Every structure is written in structure tokens, then in C-alpha cells.
């Protein structure tokens, strides 16, 4: 038997897809703020997010802008520009080394 309060909670719960979508959008906004403040790793991440459309509409031009900005200090930024958000240069470098063996 369901009580009216638990029934109301079920009705007021947002679908998981919406919750995750909002979290991803918030992650993008937080990352963008840090990228604008000069954090190189966050600049790369923002570029990846724009390239993939993760938390923001896909925009290859803005992805290139952010990767270019990051590459001025971190030359490996271009290696990961079209990788999923969070894929970093050290991951990319180790993958390349595996292929050379």
C-alpha cells in the first residue's frame, strides 16, 4: 500500500535523464569559468566539450578556439582535442607508445 506522501514524492522526482543533463550543463559552466580564469587543463576540457557537444551544443569552431588557447602553453592539447571530455594528453601519449611497440 502506497502512502500519499510517497506517491507525491514519486510524482515530483525528475527523470534521471534530466538530472544528468542538468549536472553536465553545470559541469560545463563551472569548467568554462575556470578556463576563462586561465586554467590550461580546463581550457582543454572546454575545447573537448565543445567538440563533442557535451553539456553544450556542439561547436567545432569554439572547440578549436579553446584548444588553440590551451596549446599556447600545453603543446599536447591538439592530441586530445577531439577525444571525449576528460581524455588527457598523458592518456593519449601512452596510447601512442603502445602502438609503437
Q: Tell me, what's the pLDDT at 4?
A: 59
DSSP character at residue 98: H
- State the residue for C-alpha cell 592530441: 79
User: How is the chain split into domains, by residue range?
Assistant: 16-100
Residue of higher predicted confidence among 93 and 19: 19
Coil, helix or strand at residue 28:
helix
Q: Tell me, what's the pLDDT at 48?
A: 92
Q: By the 8 A CB rule, do 50 and 66 touch? A: yes
Q: Residue 67, Cβ neighbours under 10 Å: how many?
A: 23
Coil, helix or strand at residue 82:
coil
User: For residue range 43-89, what is the model confidence (pLDDT) as tens digits?
Assistant: 999 999 999 999 999 999 999 999 999 999 888 888 877 777 877 65
Global model pTM greater than 0.85: no
Q: Tell me, what's the pLDDT at 6?
A: 62
Q: Tell me, what's the pLDDT at 12?
A: 79
Amino acid at each position: 500500500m502506497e502512502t500519499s506522501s510517497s506517491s507525491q514524492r514519486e510524482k515530483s522526482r525528475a527523470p534521471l535523464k534530466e538530472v544528468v543533463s542538468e549536472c553536465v550543463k553545470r559541469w560545463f559552466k563551472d569548467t568554462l569559468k575556470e578556463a576563462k580564469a586561465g586554467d590550461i587543463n580546463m581550457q582543454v576540457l572546454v575545447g573537448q566539450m565543445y567538440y563533442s557537444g557535451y553539456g553544450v551544443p556542439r561547436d567545432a569552431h569554439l572547440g578549436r578556439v579553446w584548444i588553440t588557447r590551451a596549446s599556447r602553453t600545453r603543446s599536447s592539447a591538439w592530441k586530445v582535442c577531439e577525444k571525449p571530455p576528460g581524455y588527457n594528453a598523458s592518456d593519449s601519449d601512452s596510447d601512442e607508445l603502445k602502438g609503437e611497440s
